[in-house]
Amino acid sequence: MQRHNFKKLKIWKEGMFLTRETYKMVRNFPDFEKFNLVSQLIRCAVSIPSNIAEGTSKRTDKHFTQYLENSLGSAFEWETQLIIAYSEEHISEEKFKAFELKIQEIQKMISGFIDGLEKS
Q: Where are the domains of the chain?
A: 6-119
Burial of 109 (0-12, 13-18, 19+ CB in 10 A): middle
For domain 6-119, say whether CATH 1.20.1440.60 is its number: yes
Tens of pLDDT, residue by residue over 41-75, are 999 999 999 999 999 999 888 999 999 999 999 99
Judged by DSSP in three states, 39 sits in helix
pTM of this structure: 0.94
pLDDT in tens, 37-49: 999 999 999 999 9
